[in-house]
Structures are given as structure tokens and as C-alpha cells.
Amino acid sequence: MLASFYLCSRSIEYNGTDSDSDIIKKLYSLYDLIAQIHKTPNNEFLLNKKSFCDTVIFPSGKKVSDIISYDKSIKRDIRNLFLFMFSYASKDTEASFEDMIEYLSLEDENNCNALLVLNIIKELENKIEQIISNIRDWRSFMRKKMIKYNKDEKTFVTNSQYYFPNLCFSCTTTFYNDLSKILDTHRASLIKALSLLNDEFISIYKDEKDFVRALQKFGCYKEIDGCSFEGKKDDKLNIDFINEKGISFVTKYCEAHIKINTPDKYKKLSGDYHDYCRIYFAKPEEECDTVYVGAICHHHNTK
């Protein structure tokens, strides 16, 4: 899928309340977002350069065109932000604000669209899921597209390195075989659980300073059905992690697991182990923000 992100010039207009420092802080966040989109495969950043240059962004009345014209009153770092935005644009577009809003309704398995904004615009409040202002918003948007349009387990893992950057999957043949089955029954629930694991677990672990307590706290999120350990040592939980060349680069003991006890709403209950999904992962290393996920698989009903 090609995801097209249009910078909405109207959203960067001076809003009448922000100070220069407020605006600069927002600009750095927007720049980080655009840079991330630029380096992500199948993502493109588009810009109406004329509309962009004509936009007044600071209380002084300076337009973007003034900022990039080497006005000595503008700090070089701020000028460079805008120059990089120009360079990151996949192509110039003549799309108006109205055109961009219309594009939001155009979506299929091959294409989707969203707007990048500095400030929220009232006319866009009913399209909030397609309005992106930071990297977290962007990841959330793309994860939802993974739920709707993911094609296979290999594509899922490839995309995950960008949309779940704190997770590392084992990528063994067994891992891919199990994941393929889970994507048929628990795709939406799985992506919600992996989002939590990517976004929240390391922070909880660092706060608790204890893996067991962190797992207990993490298991309280409503999006999952708890967390636990296997309860006994099992050598099969020593799982190899494979790189792109098919070579094992580390082995992790993945006993802790997230529980998902029902398939997605649109999937029929099987009444057997196919209703249960488990995400097995290793205890994170100290001072490391990576969670190693060794298996995503169905789990037999042990009740």
C-alpha cells in the first residue's frame, strides 16, 4: 500500500495565540514526522509549494518564503527545517485545501491518504483519524491500515519494523507459520496488543524496576486479557532470532506472554484453541528499549 501524506498549508497559518517558541516546538515535531515518512518505504510526502511559501507562520507576519530567503533575522536552524521539508517532498502538488479533503475519502488496498498539520483545523475535526501531527499519530494511522489491508505474514513483519520499532521478531520458519494463522483469526486484536507492547511496556518496566511487577501492571490494559509466565522452565522457549540473511544472531528465553482470549469480532468463535492467541516475549535487557518477541501463536484452552 502507498500511503500519501499531504502537508496542509492552512494548518501552519499563525493561529493568533502561539508564541514564537510554541511555533518552533511544533515545527520540530512536524519536521521529525516528515523525516520519518521520507525514510519509510511506501510512504510519500506531498507539498503544494506555492501555497506553503505564501503562508504566514509567525506573529511578525513572516511567510515561509521570507524564512527561506536567507533573512538574517531568522535563525539558520529554523530556515533549514523548511528547506528540508522542501527536499523531502516526493513531488510538488497543486492540490488545494478542498482537494486534499476530498482525497481523504479515496482509499483501497493499494492507496490511502492523510493530512499533516501543525495546528488542528475546525473543518477537519470529523476526520480526526486522518489528521496527523506527530509520529505517534502516524504510527497509529498506519497500524489501522495494517488491520484492514495487511497481505501476509512477511509483509506484516516488514512493516512492523517501522510501525512497531521497539519490537524485534524471531523470524524463524515456525514464527512465520504461526503468525500466518494468527493473522487469519486475531489480526485486529494482535495489532492492538503489539501497539501496547511497543509503546508502553519498556516505560512500565523501567518504572517498576521488576519484570514480574511490570508484567502484572501491563496485564491490566483493557485491550488484552492479561499476562503471565508459563510457570515452569521449558527449553522450547529458548527461541532463536534470525536476521535478513537467515542467520541466528541471538537466542532469547521467551516465557512471558500476553493473552488474547477471543478472536476478532468479525471472526466466528471456534470453541477450541483457535480462539486463543499468545504473544511470547523475553525479559528486556537493562538500558535497552527493544522487546524481543519470540512467538505469536494459538494456545490450547487449558481451562
The rounded average pLDDT for each run of 10 residues, N- to C-terminus, in the chain (303 residues) is 94 93 94 96 94 93 87 80 90 89 93 94 82 96 95 95 98 96 95 98 96 96 93 89 94 96 81 86 93 91 38
Query: Phi then psi for 215, rounded to 5 degrees?
Result: -65, -40
**Diameter of the chain by CA atoms?**
72
Q: State the pairing for strand pair 111-116/131-132.
A: parallel
User: What is the pTM for the complete model shown?
Assistant: 0.92
Q: Which whole-number Å values give the CA distances from 74 to 20, 26, 58, in the listed order?
A: 11, 17, 11
Q: How many CA atoms lie within 13 A of 65 on its CB side?
A: 8
Phi, psi of 261 (to 5 degrees): -100, 0
Residue 300: what pLDDT? 56
83 touches 76 (CB < 8 A): no
- Predicted local distance difference test score (pLDDT) of residue 301: 41
Q: What is the pLDDT of residues 168-219, one digit of tens each?
A: 999 999 999 999 999 999 999 999 999 999 999 999 999 999 999 999 999 9
- Per-residue burial over 213-226, b = 16 or more CB atoms within 10 Å of its CB, e = otherwise: ebbebbeebeebbe
Rounded CA separation 107/103 (Å): 8
pLDDT in tens, 93-107: 899 999 999 999 999
What count of other Cβ atoms lies within 10 Å of the Cβ of residue 127? Answer: 14
C-alpha cell at 173: 520458519
Q: What is the pLDDT of residue 302?
A: 37
Contacts of 239 (CB under 8 A, 6+ apart): 170, 172, 175, 251, 252, 253, 254, 280, 282, 294, 295
Pairing of strands 238-242, 227-228: unpaired
Residue in 201, 190, 181 with CA at minimum distance from that of residue 292: 201
Q: Is residue 288 classed as helix, strand or coil in its secondary structure?
A: coil
**CA–CA gap between residue 99 and residue 106 (Å, rounded):** 11
- The Cα–Cα gap between 297 and 277 comes to 6
**What pLDDT is attached to residue 281?**
97
Cell matching residue 36:
520519518
Contact call for residues 295 and 280 (beta carbons, < 8 A): yes
Cell numbers placing 44: 510519500
pLDDT of residue 91: 78
Count of CB atoms situated within 10 Å of the CB of 36: 17
Q: How far apart (Å, rounded) are the C-alpha atoms in residues 256 and 258?
A: 7
pLDDT for residue 150: 87
Distance (Å, whole) CA 36 – CA 5: 12
